[in-house]
Amino acid sequence: MLALSPAALAGASTVAEPLHIKPGLWEIRLTVRSSGQPPMPPDVLAKLTAEERARIEAKAREQEAAGPRITVKRRCLNERELEQPLALTFGGEGQGCSRTVVSASRIAQEIRVDCGKGGGTVRIEALDPENAKVASNWTATDGTRTLKMTSTATLKWLGAACQPPKAAAPQETAKRSAAARAPAPKPAEPAPPTLPAREDAGSYYKLGKAQTGRNDFWGAIKSLNLAIDLDPRNAVAYNARGYAYLRLQKFANAAVDFSDAIRLRPDYANAYQNRAIAERRLGDEKAAATDARKAAELAGRR
C-alpha cells in the first residue's frame, strides 16, 4: 500500500523544516508504473509448482503491459503532521522500513526509504500552499527477481475541514414535481454506500466489511486501507483486508495482513486460521499446519 504519512527521522543528516502547505483535506492522484517480477522468500519460491510460478510471472507481465495504475484518494493532514517531513511510504505501517531525510526545506523534501532488500527515494515539492507534487522510485529484489516501481502524485488542497460537506436533501416540492412529470416509477436501485467522515476509522472498517459481503473486494480493500491509515493498530481491519486479498487470490498480500493482525493481537485465532489458508495456497504446508494448530488451540480456550 502507498500511503501519505509522516516520515521517521532516523539517520537524518539535515534539520527538518516544515513543508509550506496548508493543513486540511487533500486530494491525492497517484500514478504507479511497475516492471519486473516480485521478489519472494526462497523457501516460498522453492515450494511453488511450475504452474504457480508461471501464473505469478504472467500476472506481473500483464500488470506491466497494462500500463500505469491511477488511484485517487483523500487524506487529512493536520498541523502536527506537517511539522515533520512527509513521504509516500512503501508497504504501509509495520513493514520494517526506515526513512532518512536527505534534505528538507519549505518548498521541497527528499527522503530515502530502506526496506532491507528494497528501497527507494521520495521527493515532494510544494508548488504553492494548496498544490504539491511527488515523485518516487522503489526497487525490491531477492537476488534473482527484481521489481521496480515508479510513481508520481499530484496533491490538491480541498479545504480546511477534513470532513467533506454532506449533500443537501432534495426539497419535498421538487420530489412532488418530479413525480408528477414521471410517466411511471421504476424500481429503485440500491443506493451506493455513503462514505463516512474521513476521521472515522471504525466507519471505514464497517463499510469495508459490507463491501466484502457484497463480493466487492477491491472496494473493500480501498475502504480498509483508509481504516488502517487512520488506526494502524486495528488488528481486525488488517484481518478483514487480508480476507479480501484472500478472496482475490492475492495470497502473499493476504499473508502479510494476517501477520500484522497477529502481531497486534497475538491471541487472534481467526487471523491464524486465515494465514494458514494463505500459506497453504503459497505452498508452505509446514507453516500452514503450525498456524492451523495455533488457531485451534486459541479457539479451544474460549
Separation CA 262–CA 6 (nearest Å):
25
Domain ranges for the chain? 2-159, 201-300
CB distance 238 to 262 below 8 Å: no
pLDDT of 14 reads: 42
Expressed in percent and rounded to 5, the helix, strand and coil fractions of the chain are: 40, 25, 35
Q: What is the mean pLDDT of each run of 10 residues along the chain (302 residues)?
A: 40 56 85 80 74 79 76 78 60 54 84 77 87 85 80 86 50 46 46 49 89 91 89 92 92 90 92 93 90 88 68
CB distance 245 to 227 below 8 Å: no
Separation CA 195–CA 19 (nearest Å):
29
Other Cβ atoms within 10 Å of 83 Cβ, number: 12
Domains 2-159 and 201-300 fall in the same CATH topology: no
* CATH number for the domain formed by residue range(s) 2-159: 2.40.128
Separation CA 63–CA 137 (nearest Å):
17
pLDDT of 17 reads: 67
The answer to pTM > 0.85 is no
pLDDT of 267 reads: 92
Q: What topology is assigned to 201-300 in CATH?
A: 1.25.40
pLDDT of 26 reads: 84
Separation CA 6–CA 72 (nearest Å):
19
